[in-house]
Structure 1
Amino acid sequence: MTKATIGYAMCGSFCTFSQAFEQMQKLVDSGYRVLPIMSGNAYSTDTRFGKAEEMVKTCEDITGEKVLHTSVQTEPIGPKKMCDLLLIAPCTGNTLAKLSLGVTDTSVTMAAKSHLRILRPVLLCVATNDALGASAQNIGRLMNTKNIYFVPMRQDNCIKKPNSLVADFSKIEECVELALQGKQHQPIFI
């Protein structure tokens, strides 16, 4: 029996994709229906971490669903109540900024806007090199936004990247369960 439907949106923090795919598989294995969503960059950019085509195929193989990757595809998420929760993992600094300012110009930000308009939870799994710099104000703003929740995060390399934070991807399922109940996992910062 399916527990709930999770929209699983991925942005371009490519170095965290292996962790994101691992957690996507765990959600599926735990009985969640997972609807994959990718930003245009995540969907089409080849990087040293893999070819875009392979990343898309991995999402589709894990979930058994086609990846939604355009704003036209993700706009109905809210009106059609396609998800019980929207998870953005990884959530880049760019996406944090857009969400905090109400900018809707990607498939992921459209999915979030559409989902939030029906008052359903959005869970952010941050991965950005400027979380304690330029993105700090956006994180703060989003922490005070109704129906926005965060996966706990920590500095990933405080010497070489002192402003960088990465969420603890291993806590995604626990945070999904809490956010579905309207609760924020504590502590937020590890």
Structure 2
Amino acid sequence: MNTSHHPTMWIKGQKSASLSGKTIVLAVTGSIGAVRVIELARELIRNGADVYGVMSEAAQHIIHKDALHYATGHEVITDLAGEVEHVKFCGAEGCADLLLIAPATANTIGKMAVGVDDTPVTTFATTAIGSGIPVIIVPAMHNSMYEHPAVMENIDKLKGWDISFVGPHLSEGIAKIASNEQIVLAVERVLGSSVLFGKKVLITSGATAESIDPIRIITNRSSGTTGREIALEFYRRGADVTVVHKGKLDLDGIREILVESAGQMVDATLKELEHDYDMLISAAAISDYTIDAMDDKIKSGGDISLKFRSTRKLIREVRDAYPYISLIGFKAEAYISEDELIARAKDSMKDADLDMVVANEVGTSGMGTIDNDVYIIPAENGEITHVSGNKRLIAEALADNIEDMLTKRELNVN
């Protein structure tokens, strides 16, 4: 059967093209976490990958090989035959870009650590490691097994061979398989290639909140979706990412600093930038005004008056303290024309000495929504990029523009 006509191919690349052109071998072992790999395979395909399944005999007691065939659109390898499949995919000149072992049992991890290859999965692993093909392992087992000293030693040994691990998620006495989002993100990072690799990037995200009393706050409609998508995209491209925000990402690999008020965000950002960052992307909707909060709850009933005062301006303080850091700002306006929006954004960029600004008109959409319509404006006489659509696309376009900026600077230096 021509796999290009398999119904699974209809979803290929529908979410993104981040894994377009990549061939991933998804190796499944005999953990109950194997029930999750059907949707995992589909998520990889939705991001553009070609996925081929390999199963151990134990894995086939958990899910049927036909399910993985359906999920990937390709026949599943359960025995090694005349095609020498492990070499065809994971040999030195094999067609696979990555071996993803998900889930991986303690048994399989132990075999990999000592070079035993007595199942199709472990034979693929031995071949991939010997060929230098990237390998990602996603452990899943009972917690008592995971915490066995030998298992810990085996994991450390494999990490020493530059093999990546994702998870596990420890809960209910079980070292559970990581979420599909976390696994796909790790795959994107391992297979990505970008001038952002190794760059230290600090991102402010979402709304801040100013206390009125111990219960009440004043905030804004920002959901933090844009900042989240930027953090994910820069992580995919190999950057070392830290996010300062009021929300919670809870994703391995992305460091978070939790704050609430505008003042806390400014203080936390300035302190964090002491650690040699390459770039700050100020995507947060920071409160412009604050008040002196009451110590006790204001009694209900009757009118009250609140006296506001201006908050500190993060961008200005950062530029004063770190004159050479790459600084990306956001400019939000409401109910103005495109020309006026761009003009105001350029004025803000000049006043704050920004390297780039992202401008959006939020009167009708953008703040608190899934989609947005933005203009990415570079300071160095580049073309304005207009992006309309979901915020992942906007994050990708911003990363592309920043890559271009960094590449031009490298060329000028050399």
TM range (shorter): 0.7 to 0.9
Letter in 2 for 1:141: K
Aligned to 2:75: 66
Amino-acid identity (%): 27
- For structure 2, list consecutive stretches of 5 or more residues without a partner in the other structure: 1-12, 14-19, 194-237, 241-251, 255-414
Contact 2:39 2:71 in 1 (8 A): no
Q: Secondary structure at the match of 1:105?
A: coil
1:169 is displaced (CA, Å) by: 2.8
In structure 1, list runs of 5 or more residues that go unmatched: none
SS at match of 1:135: helix
Residue in 1 that maps onto 2:58: 41
Q: Does 1:166 align with 2:166?
A: no
Mapping for residues 1-190 of structure 1, pairs under 5 Å: 2-13=20-31, 15-43=32-60, 45=61, 52=63, 55-72=64-81, 73-76=84-87, 77-79=89-91, 80-129=93-142, 130-133=145-148, 134-146=150-162, 148-157=163-172, 161=173, 164-170=174-180, 171-181=182-192, 186=253
How many residue pairs end up in the alignment? 172
8 Å contact from structure 2 (residues 34, 59) kept in 1: no
Distance 2:85 2:107 in 1: 18
For 2:51 and 2:130, the matched residues in 1 are separated by: 20
- Bigger radius of gyration, 1 or 2? 2
TM-score for both structures, normalised by structure 2: 0.39
Question: CA deviation digits over 1:52-78, x for unaligned, max 9?
Answer: 5xx211111111101011244543223
Greater relative contact order (Cα 8 A, min sep 6): structure 1 or 2?
A: 1
Residue deviations 1:106-160, cap 9 Å, x none?
Answer: 10011111122221110001002211114222112112113x1111322122xxx
- Counterpart contact for 2:104–2:137, Cα < 8 Å: yes
Q: CA deviation at 1:82?
A: 2.5
Aligned position for 2:216: none
CA distance in 2, matches of 1:150, 1:71: 26
In the superposition, the TM-score normalised over structure 1's length comes to: 0.81
Question: Amino acid of the residue matched to residue 79 of structure 2?
Answer: T
C-alpha distance in 2 between matches for 1:152 and 1:127: 8
Give 1:66's aligned amino acid: E
Give the residue type in structure 2 aligned to 1:9: A
Letter of the 1:33 partner, please give it: D
> How far apart, in 1, do the equivalents of 2:80 and 2:154 lie?
22
Over the aligned positions, Cα root-mean-square deviation in angstroms equals 2.2
Between the aligned partners of 1:167 and 1:174, the Cα distance in structure 2 is 14
Within 2, Cα distance between the matches of 1:145 and 1:71?
25
Q: Which runs of 4+ in 1 moved over 3 A?
A: 71-74, 181-185
**2:406 maps to which residue?**
none
Q: Helix, strand or coil: the match of 2:140? A: strand
